[in-house]
Chains A and B, each alone.
Chain A
Amino acid sequence: MLEVAAVNSFYGKAHILFDVSFSVGKGEAVALLGRNGAGKSTVLKSILQLVRPESGKVLFEGRDITRLPPHRIARLGLGYVPEERRIFADLTVSENLEVGRQPARTGLPLWTPERLFELFPNLAERRNALGGTLSGGEQQMLTIARTLMGNPRLLLLDEPSEGIAPVIVEQMARTIRALKDAGVTVLLSEQNLRFARTVAERALIIDSGHIRFDGSFVDLEADAEISASYLAV
């Protein structure tokens, strides 16, 4: 589904990603783990071309999407949920969803506001509230719902569990599993290993812009050294 090959990305002159390579198979849920500043967000942004890699390739369903403008990539069925949420504060919940709306895709469920309100009941009550008045957890739900309106085949989630209450984290995990069951492939970045393990079956570990580990959570836990050196705070 997604193939990242030897990507090198920069912020200005600062080299952030070094030859990052990995792939995500159809129907998989993969967690990209690493500390603050390890390069997780940059990986996701480099996939969507919000950060343009200096070298390397990104293939989505066999198609080279490097250098395509982000909106074309989104239209191919690649949904992105940013870490900072970036909901439109002056638009209502319903209007936020409208911005994300894209045509239906064959072989995938069609997301409508009504279906999303079933998935996120809190949002249903607040559909006419301005985005800026939502709580942190509600904003996180809204940003996911907004991206789902594009009926993505692959969902990139940047730290979905960050900065929200533990109860909502639970709900978030259920949501991600439900999406996976509905046929959406998921790549999420996380610092929270416990959360990641409950939603993903495979882990990637990134540190200082290098991929250090690529394997199952079982293998990861067997290798105490890896998680100690790259994940523990």
Chain B
Amino acid sequence: MGLLVAQLLAGLANAAALFLVASGLSLIFGVTRIVNFAHGSLYMLGAYCGYTALQYLTGPLGFWAAALAAAVAVGLFGLLVECLILRRLYKAPELFQLVATFGVVLVVQDLTLMLWGAEDLLGPRAPGLDRAVMLFGQPVPEYDLALIAVAPLVLLGLWLLMTKTRAGILIRAATQDREMVGALGINQSLLFSGVFFLGAALAGLGGALQLPKGGADLTLDLGILAPAFVVVVIGGMGSIGGAFVAAVLISVVNVFGVLYLPESTLVLMYVVMAVVLLVRPHGLFGRAELQAGPPAAGIPDRPLAPLGPRWRTAALALIGLLAVLPLIGSDFALVLATDIVVLALFAASLHFMLSLGGLISFGHAALFGGGAYAAALAVTYAETPMELALLLAPLAGGWLAFAIGWFCLRLTGVYFAMLTLAFAQLLWSLAFQWTEVTGGDDGLIGIWPAAWASDGTVYYYLTIVLGGGAILMLRHLAHSPFGYALRAARDSEKRARVSGIRVDRVRLAAMVVSGTMAGLAGGLFVFSKGSVFPSALEIARSFDALIMVFLGGVDALGGPLVGAAALTLLQDWLSRLESWRLLLGLAVIAIVLLAPTGIAGFAGRLLRRREAS
């Protein structure tokens, strides 16, 4: 009994920081419709700022003052991000917002490293609350009890703000119909900035308050992101009360998981999420997204055209160049080129569902890593020959896509995106924690190509034939009736339905196609590296795919290829520099703001302009 109560209290205490982060995320999403991937970074900044503030503020009052100061500092930083970057992107497609906030993640990582160094910082104990009290015969830290009190207080404060003040009423109104709020004379920019400040401050407060429990380190940002997403999804997007309930649920499940199922702690919350979503697809307190006003009149897409003679020549020239590369290039160039082709296929598979299907996945690494692990596991445990393993990889990717799609496709837009991320994290946790099978963090090694393909040049050609063939196949599919149906469903779901297109099936099929290709990319990746690690499934990998698609340009079919080349070369070049994350992040943000059609789209526009004149 005593142990149970102690565990329960520990869970409730852990819920505080999670709730603070998730409520800010939910609030920002509710009003601005931006999924702020940098929210974990704000949490991390809160921890570091709190640490610094505590150098100057001492005593029990000083501790809480420091936490508040950290919250305000992070809130101001959030305000800066909103004013400089996000404000220009409210009307842009979700992908742009996402890529921009991920750029912020990269920038904050390096800024934090520069300002506070790489060493983990030990959190100081909270003065006045540094002992434990005995409850039911078990010691419970006083600070835990304080945290347990903080979360409901913040919830109460937010509730009062949202229901009793004019600002809160305006925020709730803007959550439902932003344009109408503007038409009634409310300055939306001011409202959005205010919400962003508040959301960021909540994340910062969360980071500062967990200092005595966990200290500050550079992995806090992406570490809190997935749990915060899960909490927002379980609670229902935009629902602060839901975020509270879900944060408590997840944290309590987690501490009991540590007690009884120590092997599966990371997986557990995703299982809870899956169960909740099976019963309530929009979360505990969420509801189906309201159509906020009439759909915006978009610029009609240029129809997809078959390649003109000029592009055909360019494509042939590229193939020719790739064919003779082993003769003219160095070994290193060959390795880079292999990487580029693999990544291009990975990006093209995402591009297929994202651009043609309008299905933005934040967790595309699940399919890539799934394929990679399928091939590696087959080789490790069944001594499967490479040829068969390379067949297994796309099959596994396709099946995974089917399973994930079955769950996620009931939701649309960012809900779909967040769910896919959660599933990718589920697979990542499996690979990371199921050590007996997957090797955990040590990965699976010794996965080399068959003897005939063991030479780098031969494997390079194999990659080009399989990868290039798959890319061409995706391109072909885009121009097939299936591709038309997919685009019709993207542009007008209702109209597609009444035209006899079975939208759900078409989308699921598109996901399976995409998963198959991503799985193949994963398979090719494993044999080119000889190993696979959980990093093949991590969030950063999913982002690589999104950034490649974005860099190449969403509307250009050749974009993924350009994007893969750009990202690989950029990373190779930048990673020689000290603060490459900062530079990459700034570059990504600059491209979002300045050349939103991506590199290929930009080049295409220049070409068309020249042809027109």
Hey, which chain A residues are within 8 Å of B170, CB to CB?
99
A86 touches B172 (CB 8 A): no
Hey, which chain B residues are within 8 Å of A98, CB to CB?
166, 169
A99 touches B183 (CB 8 A): no
Hey, which chain B residues are within 8 Å of A48, CB to CB?
183
Q: Report Cα–Cα, A100/B173, bound state, in Å.
A: 10
**Closest chain B residue, CB of each to CB of A81:** B183
Is B180 at the interface (CB under 8 A from chain A)? Answer: yes
Given A86-B293, A101-B166, 8 more pairs with CB closer than 8 A: A11-B297, A13-B299, A50-B183, A71-B185, A71-B186, A82-B183, A90-B175, A99-B169
Interface size on A, residues (CB 8 A): 29
Complex A-B, nearest 10 residue pairs according to Cβ-Cβ distance, in ascending order:
A74-B185, A11-B297, A99-B173, A86-B180, A70-B182, A88-B173, A71-B182, A75-B185, A12-B297, A100-B184
Hey, which chain A residues are within 8 Å of B299, CB to CB?
12-13
**Closest chain A residue, CB of each to CB of B292:** A86
Task: Render B282-307 as a binary contact track against A, CB cut-off 8 A, 1 for contact.
Answer: 00000000100110011110000000
Known contacts A12-B298, A98-B166; is-contact A147 B184 (Cβ 8 Å)? yes
Picked from B179, B188, B300, the residue with its CB within 8 Å of the CB of A50 is B179
| Min CB gap A140→B, angstroms | 15
Hey, which chain B residues are within 8 Å of A69, CB to CB?
182, 187
Known contacts A11-B297, A12-B298, A71-B188; is-contact A86 B177 (Cβ 8 Å)? yes
Q: Report Cα–Cα, A101/B177, bound state, in Å.
A: 16
Hey, which chain B residues are within 8 Å of A90, CB to CB?
172, 175-176
| Min CB gap B559→A, angstroms | 23
Known contacts A50-B183, A74-B183; is-contact A84 B169 (Cβ 8 Å)? no
Is B83 at the interface (CB under 8 A from chain A)? Answer: no
A88 touches B172 (CB 8 A): yes
Picked from A14, A74, A89, A91, the residue with its CB within 8 Å of the CB of B184 is A74
Q: Report Cα–Cα, A88/B169, bound state, in Å.
A: 10
**Closest chain A residue, CB of each to CB of B165:** A98
Hey, which chain B residues are within 8 Å of A99, CB to CB?
169-170, 173, 181, 184, 186
CB<8 Å pairs between A and B, sample of 17 = A12-B300, A13-B300, A70-B182, A74-B183, A75-B185, A86-B177, A86-B180, A86-B293, A88-B172, A88-B176, A90-B176, A95-B173, A99-B170, A100-B185, A101-B166, A102-B185, A150-B185
Residues of A within 8 A of B (CB): 11-14, 48, 50, 69-71, 74-75, 80, 82, 84, 86, 88-91, 95-96, 98-102, 146-147, 150
Q: Report Cα–Cα, A14/B297, bound state, in Å.
A: 10
| Min CB gap B345→A, angstroms | 34
Hey, which chain B residues are within 8 Å of A74, CB to CB?
182-185
| Min CB gap B221→A, angstroms | 33
| Min CB gap B189→A, angstroms | 8
A89 touches B173 (CB 8 A): no
Residues of B within 8 A of A (CB): 166, 169-170, 172-173, 175-177, 179-188, 290, 293-294, 297-300
B294 touches A84 (CB 8 A): yes
| Min CB gap A72→B, angstroms | 8
Hey, which chain B residues are within 8 Å of A146, CB to CB?
184
Q: Report Cα–Cα, A121/B362, bound state, in Å.
A: 50
| Min CB gap B4→A, angstroms | 39
| Min CB gap B171→A, angstroms | 10
**Closest chain A residue, CB of each to CB of B294:** A84
**Closest chain B residue, CB of each to CB of A76:** B185
Q: Report Cα–Cα, A122/B297, bound state, in Å.
A: 36
| Min CB gap A85→B, angstroms | 9
Hey, which chain A residues are within 8 Å of B300, CB to CB?
12-13
Q: Report Cα–Cα, A90/B166, bound state, in Å.
A: 15
Hey, which chain A residues are within 8 Å of B172, CB to CB?
88, 90-91, 95
Q: Report Cα–Cα, A8/B327, bound state, in Å.
A: 60
| Min CB gap A1→B, angstroms | 18
Q: Report Cα–Cα, A82/B172, bound state, in Å.
A: 19
A75, A89, A98, A99 — most chain B CB neighbours (10 Å): A99
| Min CB gap B560→A, angstroms | 27
**Closest chain A residue, CB of each to CB of B176:** A88
Q: Report Cα–Cα, A71/B293, bound state, in Å.
A: 17
Q: Report Cα–Cα, A69/B299, bound state, in Å.
A: 21
B180 touches A82 (CB 8 A): yes
B169, B182, B185, B293 — most chain A CB neighbours (10 Å): B185
Q: Report Cα–Cα, A91/B173, bound state, in Å.
A: 7
| Min CB gap A66→B, angstroms | 16
Hey, which chain A residues are within 8 Å of B188, CB to CB?
71
B182 touches A89 (CB 8 A): no
Hey, which chain B residues are within 8 Å of A86, CB to CB?
177, 180, 293
**Closest chain A residue, CB of each to CB of B189:** A69
Q: Report Cα–Cα, A70/B300, bound state, in Å.
A: 25
Hey, which chain B residues are within 8 Å of A89, CB to CB?
176, 290
| Min CB gap B333→A, angstroms | 45
Picked from B177, B187, B294, B297, the residue with its CB within 8 Å of the CB of A88 is B177
B297 touches A70 (CB 8 A): no
**Closest chain A residue, CB of each to CB of B291:** A84
A95 touches B294 (CB 8 A): no
Picked from A71, A91, A147, the residue with its CB within 8 Å of the CB of B169 is A91
| Min CB gap B163→A, angstroms | 9
Q: Report Cα–Cα, A76/B513, bound state, in Å.
A: 54
Q: Report Cα–Cα, A75/B185, bound state, in Å.
A: 5
**Closest chain B residue, CB of each to CB of A16:** B297
Hey, which chain A residues are within 8 Å of B290, CB to CB?
89
Q: Report Cα–Cα, A99/B297, bound state, in Å.
A: 26
A95 touches B293 (CB 8 A): no
Hey, which chain A residues are within 8 Å of B176, CB to CB?
88-91
| Min CB gap A229→B, angstroms | 28
| Min CB gap B190→A, angstroms | 9
Q: Report Cα–Cα, A48/B184, bound state, in Å.
A: 10
Hey, which chain A residues are within 8 Å of B184, CB to CB?
71, 74, 99-100, 146-147, 150
Q: Report Cα–Cα, A88/B178, bound state, in Å.
A: 10
Hey, which chain A residues are within 8 Å of B169, CB to CB?
91, 95, 98-99
Hey, which chain A residues are within 8 Å of B293, CB to CB?
84, 86
Q: Report Cα–Cα, A86/B173, bound state, in Å.
A: 11
